[in-house]
Chains A and B, each alone.
Chain A
């Protein structure tokens, strides 16, 4: 027994010595300063590249990439489908182990975290930054350097029932009036807004941006979450719940049937809801319409989606970037939309009749013009979870908006921007 204890102590001591040997080098990680991007060689691509993609994209990309290999016969594209749930950890593990693929799809809110590990390659000139929606392009920018490109986008708009809402609202007062009117017309709830829990910030932030709030200062070193604009947006968001216009405790899965059944007159969501509603009640779609989110001081919405990034450790960097460039061409983006339904991040792709003629998609295209990305900072996911919790307090427990803003700012500052 004594001997075991002594061995244990020795192991701990050696471990402690080993740890004492570590330490941060001054100056921090690679994302601290702007790093210049290297060029990419001209000519046809060659060699093989590993590509990771999640969800539907992961399943469809292998076949779709044949278009690229037809143009560049010497290239082999190996696609690995990764489930969304496992993707974040898998990429983190790959970075830690130095076993990264050449290209990977990356959720927009993960960009700050992965870019600050110094594992991503800055975007070269081969990519035309001007071709993307501005908000989408911003998601690739971490501390002044762009890493990768936006692959596809989504944004949030207002879904409403034409039988309960005679005219689409265009401003904040109009939205409140619409919800009240719809309630008077027989709906149980005038609107559904997410009252906290995971992802609620994505529904709330458009209102903050519409009020003119900004989440971080210019160089993203400090949070600016406790501002009059933020309080204004919080007060407005809360008014829907305190006025009984929006539900605070809607059970999961009740939104869509409630909306199609006429008990919920409107809600804020992204493009995927068109398909969900259509599957639920094809005929009922006659009463459904979409409109951009009503504007406050300005128009704004949330932009989400996924980016494509090339890793620094790539053995075949040039081919990797050429593949990314190919996926960002307008005609390829349209073809990709037709295959899997992802909305193009390249603005000119929206002029293609395949997208322009769709009765619902046009609204998303309009909204994209003013959609804003959350700050690309390593700690964003953690700050977002604080906002989710505080929004829940605001909507369900009736907390004071000013106090909520102060708490968010305090906790966010304690977490830090991580840059």
Chain B
């Protein structure tokens, strides 16, 4: 860092301590540079304020009022209700039901998706060499396919009498349920569908991560007598930790906002068993309860933040060295499974 740059940063970051001297020494130059810098940044700042910050602040303001569809012509003539909307949201039995469903979906869906994606990526990375691209394209296909087309196909697959899923279950003597019309099985069907849809992106990310695991570590461990599973558990997974964290965070964010699957498949039914918070928010916006719906979406936003913080705590870098030390002290081959 050059001296000039250091001076500038100092002038900007801590005005009280060093800026005064800097300003006194080169006042016109400093001011002009600031103006020019803002001039260059202006298009971005304006766009950001108009299309990003503005709507976000407005929706936040909306969440604090009792704005309804009838106020459309005079949106400022509404009452300020503070956190009343949030209180009403949290007391709403339908919202609680939706929150429980969403939690179920996230708690089962995220680990399942991560594990499956990691398993497939590992197999693709080591086992299969010839048709690697084909498989990669195959797994990525659902990500780029329209949800509408997927819904049609899945509805056929899950059909109780002629669907492929129950057909296959039938070979093993299992009488498959009426997936989409059963309060017990509709949610697992949604989870399966979401997993299938989002696994492709994760596989690509994990494959990239796996390329970065040093082969020398694997060789050294193999020489020391570690089996395939042990090498995966104690070399691949720890090396992939940042990649897994990234995968968990983006999957978590996507899954908390679980919407499309019930929207195209079940409309939240049967008996609200697949109603998600995002779907309920969508419904409330549709009913014209704008203030209430905005408050609901901010509750969902807080949930996303909390989940992400939790994931950083559980999977983040911070406590890695401590764990390694603890593990190194133990006899490695004795610990099996996660």
Contacts and interface: CB of A to CB of B under 8 A. Distances in A.
A379 B64 contact: no
Interface in B70-91: 70-73, 75-80
Contacts of B61: 15, 18-19
Interface string B243-268: 00000000000000000000000010
Interface in A22-36: 22-25, 29, 31
B272 interface: yes
Interface in B92-133: none
Contacts, number: 100
B78 A251 contact: no
Interface residues of A, number: 43
Interface string A26-64: 000101000000000000000000000000000000000
B270 A117 contact: no
A25 B160 contact: no
Given A113-B70, A197-B270, A396-B271, A15 B57 contact: yes
A396 B288 CA distance: 29
Contact of A96 (B73, B77, B159): B73
A296 B79 CA distance: 46
A176 B57 CA distance: 57
B167 interface: no
A338 interface: no
Nearest to A97: B72
Interface stretch (B139-147, B168-176, B177-185): B177-185
A381 B282 CA distance: 13
A23 B80 contact: yes
Contacts of A250: 181
Contact of A92 (B64, B72, B77): B72
Tell me what chain B mostly uses at the interface: helix, strand, loop, or mixed: loop
B80 A20 contact: yes
Given A19-B65, A389-B272, A117 B178 contact: no
A24 B71 CA distance: 9
21 contacts: A18-B61, A19-B80, A23-B80, A24-B79, A25-B77, A29-B71, A96-B73, A113-B69, A113-B70, A117-B72, A249-B160, A249-B181, A249-B182, A249-B270, A251-B159, A251-B178, A251-B181, A378-B70, A379-B287, A382-B289, A385-B287
Interface of A: 11, 15-16, 18-25, 29, 31, 88, 92, 95-96, 98, 113, 116-119, 196-198, 248-253, 378-379, 381-382, 385, 389, 392-393, 396-397, 418
Given A31-B70, A119-B73, A249-B270, 19 more contacts: A15-B61, A19-B65, A25-B77, A29-B70, A88-B286, A96-B75, A113-B69, A113-B288, A117-B73, A119-B72, A197-B270, A198-B267, A248-B181, A378-B68, A378-B70, A381-B286, A381-B288, A392-B269, A396-B270
Across chains A and B, which 9 residue pairs bring their CB atoms closest together, nearest first?
A249-B181, A382-B287, A96-B72, A116-B70, A19-B80, A95-B72, A22-B76, A117-B72, A197-B269
Interface of B: 57, 60-61, 64-65, 68-73, 75-80, 155, 159-160, 178, 180-182, 267, 269-272, 283, 286-289
